[in-house]
Structure 1
Amino acid sequence: MTESVYKVIELIGTSKESWEKAAAAAVDRAGKTLRDLRVAEVVKLDLQLDAKGKVEAYRAKLNVSFKFED
């Protein structure tokens, strides 16, 4: 079996609708420039609020790993 090495990066996705869509947006965008994505781990969920304290956006912070190419 060949040994593998993976890099982990932190991403933050946003959505006006849900945390799930925020996480998906981050992974979708990363997939456009990174190959061989392996795991996305949600590490934090939070909300962006407007001046009146109402929800403006859902935010999901993820650790995403991808395999280094040989």
Structure 2
Amino acid sequence: MFSLTQVIGVSGMAKRELAPFMIAFVVAEMFYKLGSFALECLAFLATWYLLSYAFHGLVRRDRG
């Protein structure tokens, strides 16, 4: 995370990751009731990763 912030900056990271982060946060809050903080945290991070991957693919496709 620190390295990513150093490479693209805080504003660049916010532009790129804010939407996938917020969607993953809402999904995790609403649906992930696994009974363990560690499992819920891993599920949230996996959801964020997949949404970020999908958003990045959509943006790349829109740009040509």
Q: TM-score under structure 1 normalisation?
A: 0.35
Which of the pair is proportionally richer in strand? 1
Which of the pair is proportionally richer in helix? 2
Q: TM-score under structure 2 normalisation?
A: 0.37
